[in-house]
Structure 1
Amino acid sequence: MSHTATTTPTIAVEVVLPGRVEPHELMITRRELPPPRPGRVLVRVEATGVSFAEQQMRRGKYYDQPPFPFTPGYDLVGEVIAVGADSDAALLGQRVAALTKVGGWSSHLILEAADLIPVPTGLTAAEAETFVVNGITAWQMLHRIAKVHAGQTIVVHGANGGVGSTLVQLARVAGIRVIGTASASNAAAVEAIGAIPVDYRGDVPRQVRALAPGGVDAVFDHVGGRSVVDSFGLLATGGTLVAYGSASTKDEDGNSRLPVLKLFARLAWWNLLPNNRSAHFYNIWSGKRRRARFRSRLAEDLGAVLDLAARGELRAQIAARFPLADAGRALALAESRTVTGKVVLVPKELP
């Protein structure tokens, strides 16, 4: 029995991705959620976001997405409104964050209590939401993989995006010089968060070499394809390439896994060469088989990011807010590449 005054089912409003559709073809459905079982909690979602993963999923291009139909939503922030037996009753009323991969585009969700991460006071739900998957990804790539330190120089591709803008800010807090690629129209926004803007439509290697003639200490590349080759070539001796996507192939037909497998092979080959540079692929879910350690790292890393944000050292980059029912418009805006930061869905604004 849950630790609440009622055990009646909750009606959850969900956005469903029915297949390979255009953003306006997303569906809104309702389903009944039972009271949470032992070890689980019921969360009223206050904010969820549009990540690059959902842009790939609607095309059937995300590496390990579930079969259609399903509810997207990679992460969320919400309030615990019911807890099952064996769950800590102190969680009731707490604002928490969770990494979900799918399911977040919902008004309510049942989650494992052990997967929840407390959100510090001083952050709104929408602000905290911008740092969940983006913050974990940026922190782990910067500090756990590349291990960049103060005084070094890095390149961040897509510096105006959700992960990119978070990565730029984390690097600047750590005293790292950042060169950020973006469109010319987003150059001012990239500069405002502390990066030196470079136009991705131009000759990126030439522009970066002009700013860092001896090479850079790390490059963070979500583009894949030709970009990752150029990125590896920008590294100084001892430098690190961190690839974390294949955005350049999201509109290509064919097997969704092939571009990623090609990327894996290329990175592995570079690591065999005697060039004193390293190449890695970042996957936020790596290490999940060691569940306790995985959860501990998520809590530690996201906790560090949220604490920085609560102290005002990071600024939430909210591109736009939409009600959950307007998920299609939100997805289209995120895909337009015209915004800085993250597009956020706010379920409480349901019609």
Structure 2
Amino acid sequence: MATTIRKAQVSAFGGVSNVNIISAYIDDPTDDHVQVAVLYSGFSGSDINMRLGRYPMQKAAPLTPGYTLVGKVSKNGAHCCKFNVGDVVACLSVYDAEAELTNMPEKYLIPVPSGLDLQKACALIVDWTTAYGMVMRSAEVHQGQRVFVHGMSGAVGYALATLCQLQGAKVYGTASERNHEAFRSLGWTPYVYTEKQWMAAVKKMGGADVIFDPLGFESWDESYSVLSGSHGRLIGYGGNLATLNDQPSRGVLFPTIKLLSRNFMCPLVHKTTRFFYITRDDKTFVPDLQALFKLLAAGHIDVRIKAVFDLDNIQEAHRSWAKPGLGIGSMLIKVHADQ
């Protein structure tokens, strides 16, 4: 039986006016799917890039965005028995989370432990699992290292800095000047990216042991140049420089190949580079998210939410993503009231 819902829809690739809230029908879940009443959907660069048609291998428009969700089970498909109606679940959905109801494969639903703040739980699904994978595996951050994080005010950047500090590293990074005082209070050392003072400062201290860089293109060249010469690691991800600066699309394939090719340029240089990307099929995804749930429950991490927009204000969320002044941490879309 079809149910009427409201959802966000990108009707065509382009400007903010192309994303709107529409009425639509959703069918009952198929045998291996579960219907979820969405409480919160994560909002990130993936939403912006999907609206612009820039996200790698994305669907054609029209589409409903929403890369992550926390919600309550509404209906089970005929072959689904892992969850009861009303159970709170998390999902890396990729699409369709910015909707009142959505049908998701049961295998991708993860139970949310009771007692967790559901806004913070939603932020963990991609923002923090991305950071966790880079810190714990790609970079293997450990006690006493000098770590540099680009974009510490952003969702992943803030998570990276927090997790690196938890591992015992000394944290440096770039951020808007309005957030510098807050970062200094956490024991981090912030710089303004555009002034390039960070490059001279990192070189003066002997180079960074690890740099996390989501910008790509020329920024990866700059970051590589200030790595510690004997053992530095550059972890690239995202490639968001053009999107952040509202510039024409720049393909990230060649910069990524260039980034990785540095590993073979000179056997005497012990700098290494990696590109990080997360999918819900990664064997590490569920264990990483569960580890983060435990850290949140124990109070070991402070998951900051800088803005929550109602579904009706979806266009304002798109306008605000790269605007200064929102604060630090993750952005969310509230689809239903938290119950």
8 Å contact from structure 1 (residues 47, 347) kept in 2: yes
**Paired residues of 1:319 and 1:341 also in contact (CA < 8 A):** yes
Residue of structure 2 equivalent to 1:178: 171
Residue 331, structure 1, aligned to residue 289, structure 2: no
Specify the SS of the correspondent of 2:180. helix
Match of 2:277 among 273, 280, 283: 283
Structure 2 counterparts to residues 113-152 of structure 1, below 5 A: 113-152=106-145
Equivalent pairs counted in the alignment come to 331
SS of corresponding position for 1:55: helix
| TM-score where L is the length of structure 2 | 0.92
CA deviations on 1:134-185 (whole Å, 9 max, x unpaired) are 0110011111211111221211100010101111111122212111210111
Please state how far the C-alpha of 1:23 moved relative to its aligned partner.
Answer: 2.4
Task: Write the distance in 1 (CA, Å) between the matches of 2:218 and 2:210.
Answer: 17
Question: Which residue is 1:311 aligned to?
Answer: 298
Q: What is the CA-CA distance between 1:78 and the residue it aligns to?
A: 0.8
Which segments of structure 1 move beyond 4 Å, counting only runs of 4 or more? none
- The structural deviation recorded for 1:90 is 3.7
Q: Distance in 2 between matches of 1:80 and 1:272?
A: 49
From 185, 196, 202, the equivalent of 2:195 is 202
Classify 1:194/1:300 alpha carbon distance in 2 versus 1 (closer, same or farther; 3 Å): farther
Q: Give the counterpart of 1:214 among 197, 200, 206.
A: 206
Which residue of structure 2 lines up, in the alignment, with residue 68 of structure 1? 61
Match of residue 320 from structure 1: 307
Percent identity over the alignment is 30
The aligned residue for residue 333 of structure 2 is 345
Give the aligned partner of residue 5 of structure 1: none
Measure the CA separation in 2 of the matches of 1:326 and 1:24.
Answer: 12
Q: Is the 8 A contact 1:198 1:208 kept in 2?
A: no
Partner of 2:27: 34
Counterpart contact for 2:36–2:101, Cα < 8 Å: yes
Partners of 1:192 and 1:123 lie apart in 2 by 26
Distance in 2, Cα, partners of 1:193 & 1:80: 38
Q: How far 1:192 sits from its partner (Å)?
A: 4.2
* Aligned-pair CA distance for 1:95: 1.2
Report if the CA contact (8 A) 1:43-1:111 is conserved: yes
- The SS at the match of 1:343 is strand
State the one-letter code of the partner of 1:318.
I
Structure 1 position 9 matched with structure 2 position 2: yes
Where 1:235 maps in the other structure, the secondary structure is: coil
Aligned position for 1:253: 248
Q: Indicate conservation of the 8 Å contact 1:35/1:42, yes or no.
A: yes
Structure 1 vs Structure 2 CA RMSD: 1.9
Structure 1 unaligned segments of length 5 or more: list them: 1-7
**Relative to structure 1, is the Cα distance of residues 268 and 316 closer, same or farther in structure 2, using a 3 angstrom cutoff?**
closer
Deviation of the 1:201 alpha carbon: 2.2
Query: Aligned equivalents of 1:92 and 1:349: distance in 2?
Result: 17
Mapped to 2, the partners of 1:196 and 1:31 lie a distance apart of: 48
How do 1:16-27 residues align onto structure 2 when only pairs under 5 Å count?
A: 16-27=9-20
Q: 1:100-119 maps to which residues of 2 (within 5 A)?
A: 100-119=93-112
Range moving further from structure 2, 117-126 or 309-318 = 117-126
What CA distance in whole angstroms lies between the structure 1 residues aligned with 2:285 and 2:79?
22
The TM-score normalised by the length of structure 1 is 0.89
Q: Which runs of 5+ in 2 are unaligned?
A: none
Letter in 1 for 2:106: A
Partner of 2:149: 156
Structure 1 CA distance for aligned equivalents of residues 337 and 297 of structure 2: 25
Structure 1 equivalent of residue 263 of structure 2: 271
Decide whether aligned partners of structure 1 residues 175 and 76 sit closer, same or farther in structure 2, where only a CA change above 3 A counts.
Answer: same
